Chain A
């Protein structure tokens, strides 16, 4: 072999006990990936694009209403991004093979293949695929900020989280040059230059990214934590994004355990 190519399986661990819902990941993703500006009308039409989003769930509303004790109300935050499912429901429905699972564990979307049938978004249980209903436009001066390493998607095309593949590719080239697997730190959220923008931004280290094939990486150790669970596991999508349960002093029954 002239070049040794390292086999990666990218994955992410989301520790819900750390997430504060601060939106740093959301804005970082938009800056990195040339996501069109979500104007007010886009929200009103429910067509805003956020590759990673923070969902907020209320808990204890009934109890608070019954007792009148507001402190029973809890708001929980969960960052949801493409789960990069091993068994992705979006893939088999694409008539043009614009979306498929690659050998690095990424669920990919090939823009130049996509013809915009929107079958995939309807079949995705996590609702992380976004359709470009409009030609994305920026004021001329803001073009200076666009990332040249990411394609600007045109109207009629599906888009979704790529785990910032442009950064992974850069890391991959470094690996080829050095002929060895890069240290986990290079992909790590703390200071790694090849970590996805969201993980790199997250102030509480909620998002941890890394190579699941590397048994010593932070992400594979954390994925084994006994708080781990997969989102909508009953559907059997086998996501590569692992969530760690929120710790709650009042967590009660085994059903939510």
Chain B
């Protein structure tokens, strides 16, 4: 193209003008200052207010305070008053902010007009959605068992509401949690006669012996345990505590332990009984308990577990078993914690019973530095137990779904399609249900199959309460209040869309069902909460006491709940029953495969509930520092032998399926174990989680604990194959590098305990 001088000058002038014009303009909104029509105190510009509520991002009960400016949540911190976490929080709690303002949050109810996964959703209004739900529920009243409600483990008033709804209607209520605690609940019941999980007094213990429970990362109430762990290590006026951790995987707890004992998977119980043998034969521990546990026969009753005899099956040398048992017995008070993968075997109950029997043997129940039983919730309607439905009971349900005996499936707070082992055939069953309703605020794997999605509020927008499980050793009830403007408030007010609270929707649905309405005499969830609060006020004790209910209600919400430190458990634990005299070995699925598969909850994203939060995706795994993906931890030596380098894509084949993950050659994982984090591999779930990594839960074989029927998620064996592909493993390590050759030695300096 020919360009004359004149044209060039013209173009230059135009360009210059354009640049000047764009450079000298700015966002016009910056020149405006808005004067709203109404201005409640919390909407004043520049003013920040902290409101107390509860964190609903994971199963643990944590009180939080939320910084709110101009009706928007800015920051979350732990509530210093709340007994379980006393002012601190996990990375996951902070995720509530990004969940609230997530770009892929559903802005209103969606209806699928044509049945089928490929069909598109169409926006609908709440009144139409509720109308449809009511008419469906009314229609199936004659056959109420054909209505199934799946929820996450609920506690507090929500659990009460759900139970009343399900019973009065006659619907089936199923509770889903990927890593269920059924075995732990059963153990507590059998050993301590308590429906509540116990409180471990780690802060006052001299030694802690833990089996499989990654309590410094994700197990039960990690913030509470970490609060205590700090004290345990360097609390004032006490000697530094000793932590020994037994687990086949190098977890965060193992990394922080004074001694990590890698054990053969499923052999934790045998190891614990072997330690019991040592303690009894050395005549350490509580003599009367020892008599009861051994049926009066003394160490002889446990001779099947002599360290020398079990060393090979457990993979722990005999002298080590003896030393650890003796050290534990000598450093009292001590507490034994068990759970996680130790209970996730076909002999899970055997393992956990054996582990917790060590506590009985030391006689540390309800003693300083021991195991404290938790009291019942202060009111019968505040339900504290949140057991998931064990895997054994899912099969009949799935069969019913397949046979068309389930007409309506309501899913709330859980993503069963993501979490249930694929081998159960839940996916095929789901498409046989004529009406699937999802309460999810995000398009998750299960919601893809839904016919109607009615998005519920996120935790910061909703009412609720909670009875911590495990409690802090005394009666505690947390209260949750909406701390911010609903993000989709305008849609709700103007277009009858937006989100609503789950409890509110259930109460609204009850209105059309006379039987249910009788059982649920409340109009809104707030009314329901106030009702329980009135009863708490009536007790006239605890952290909040007030003459008038208004005062009580305000104080209750401002403090984030009610607790009574003097209301501890009064129940006396039953006399210990005799320990098993014979070994019970775990059964594994996938015989012949060389590796035990250890799935573990991701430190930041948990069992996958937090995968849609970019902060949590970007929070490095503490040990591997891996981010934004799924990796497989494989022994460094084995990797070398197989010629596997970091980032190499491996195919992991179990009897139930296969997935691909990137290798992380790990210096501290046993040669016969591979570990894969949970949390990734969502088909949907927002832009940050969708199609990212692989879902380890999907390849678990449907093995169950023999006694409770709970999913034995550590009982799968897998083969590992190379695919020949390799990527650069995204991880934080290497982003910055401190000088390694230093005059003064290592970056992290160590010293012997005084």
Contacts and interface: CB of A to CB of B under 8 A. Distances in A.
A2 interface: no
A197 interface: yes
Contacts of A146: 74
B103 A203 contact: no
A37 B750 contact: no
B143 interface: no
Interface in A36-95: 37-40, 43-44, 46-48, 50, 53-59, 61, 64-65, 70-71, 73-78, 80
B581 interface: no
A20 interface: yes
Nearest to A252: B752
A158 to B, nearest CB: 14
B18 interface: no
A20 B749 contact: no
A21 interface: yes
A146 B259 CA distance: 43
A127 B742 contact: no
A26 B100 CA distance: 20
Interface residues of B, number: 91
Given A40-B629, A55-B747, A203-B223, A127 B216 contact: no
B619 interface: yes
B458 to A, nearest CB: 12
A100 interface: no
B260 interface: yes
A147 B74 contact: yes
Contacts of A24: 88-91
A18 B750 contact: no
A200 interface: yes
A60 B395 CA distance: 47
Given A43-B731, A48-B618, A56 B623 contact: yes
B442 to A, nearest CB: 13
- Residue of B629, B736, B743 ringed by the most chain A CB atoms within 10 A: B736
B126 interface: no
Nearest to A41: B730
Interface string A212-226: 000000000000000
B750 A30 contact: no
Given A46-B734, A145-B98, A233-B744, A249 B89 contact: no
Contact of A31 (B615, B628, B749, B753): B615
A204 B103 CA distance: 33
A227 B751 contact: yes
Nearest to A256: B745
Given A56-B625, A145-B101, A127 B737 contact: yes
Contacts of A248: 258, 750-752
Contacts of B260: 71
Interface in B36-84: 46, 50, 69, 72-78, 80
Nearest to A147: B74
A118 interface: no
Contact of B622 (A21, A65, A144, A231): A21
Interface string A14-32: 0111101111101110111
Interface in B720-734: 728, 730-734
A39 B628 contact: yes
A201 B89 contact: yes
- Residue of B89, B487, B735, B748 ringed by the most chain A CB atoms within 10 A: B748
Q: Is the interface of B mostly helix, strand, loop or mixed?
A: loop
B88 A202 contact: yes
A134 to B, nearest CB: 15
B716 to A, nearest CB: 22
Contacts of B505: none
B751 A38 contact: no
Interface stretch (A3-11, A106-114, A135-143): A135-143
A234 interface: yes
Interface string B246-280: 00001010011011111000000000000000000
Contacts of A233: 744
A170 to B, nearest CB: 9
Given A24-B90, A50-B732, A247-B240, A57 B620 contact: no
A205 interface: yes
Interface string B660-681: 0000000111100000000000
B252 A21 contact: yes
Interface string A140-172: 111111111000000000000000000000000
B75 A32 contact: yes
Interface string A234-252: 1000000001111111010
A70 B667 CA distance: 8
Nearest to A248: B750
Contacts of B627: 38, 40, 43
A231 B747 contact: yes
Given A43-B628, A56-B733, A144 B234 contact: no
A125 interface: yes
A36 to B, nearest CB: 10
Given A58-B667, A234-B742, A247-B233, A78 B90 contact: no
Interface in B394-447: none
A117 interface: no
B622 A64 contact: no
Given A139-B103, A140-B103, A247-B752, A64 B255 contact: no
A102 interface: no
Nearest to A57: B748
A64 B751 CA distance: 21
A16 B748 contact: yes
Interface string B702-718: 00000000000000000
A255 interface: yes
B3 interface: no
B746 A256 contact: yes
A73 B751 contact: no
B103 A206 contact: no
B738 interface: yes
A247 B235 CA distance: 13
Contacts of A142: 98, 101-103
B622 A77 contact: yes
B217 interface: yes
Nearest to B226: A203
B404 to A, nearest CB: 41
Nearest to A48: B735
Nearest to B254: A75
A37 B101 CA distance: 14
Given A44-B728, A64-B668, 5 more contacts: A30-B94, A50-B732, A203-B89, A234-B744, A257-B751
Closest 7 CB pairs of A and B: A204-B230, A139-B103, A191-B80, A203-B226, A21-B622, A127-B736, A73-B668
25 contacts: A20-B256, A22-B222, A30-B94, A30-B618, A38-B614, A40-B629, A43-B618, A48-B732, A53-B732, A56-B625, A58-B667, A70-B667, A70-B668, A71-B261, A77-B255, A145-B72, A190-B86, A200-B87, A201-B77, A204-B227, A204-B230, A248-B750, A248-B752, A255-B745, A256-B745
